[in-house]
Amino acid sequence: MAREKLGADAVQEALAGLEGWTLAEDGNSIQRSFTFRNFSEAFAFMTRVALAAEKLDHHPDWTNVYRTVDVTLNTHDAGGLTELDFKLARKMNAYAD
């Protein structure tokens, strides 16, 4: 998949269809917090996302504290957001449901 940085209009369009995600203050990343019933569910979510991220060769910046997983996505080598970020975000949303 192309790692071409998206323009501001494309970012806003992609973000509009992505529940729970917001544009970071810097405008170069998107972020979301996921909250689960317990640590085991949070860890299972992270494991599933890790496998998808490996297949995409695109890895999230994230932290986990007990039942909460905070995620920031951007494409470092493109200097901002690419379609890869939104593809992984959609997968994460699907896995969290």
**What pLDDT is attached to residue 77?**
86
Task: Identify the sign of the CA torsion 2, 34, 41, 96.
Answer: negative
**What pLDDT is attached to residue 5?**
93
Tokens at 34, concatenated: 């996921």
What ranges do the domains of the chain cover? 24-96
Within 10 angstroms of residue 32's Cβ, the number of other Cβ atoms is 19
What are the pLDDT digits (tens) for 44-83?
A: 999 999 999 999 999 999 999 999 999 999 998 888 999 9
61-65 and 68-73 as β-strands: parallel, antiparallel, unpaired? antiparallel
CATH fold of the domain at 24-96: Gyrase A; domain 2 (3.30.1360)
What are the pLDDT digits (tens) for 35-48?
A: 999 999 999 999 99
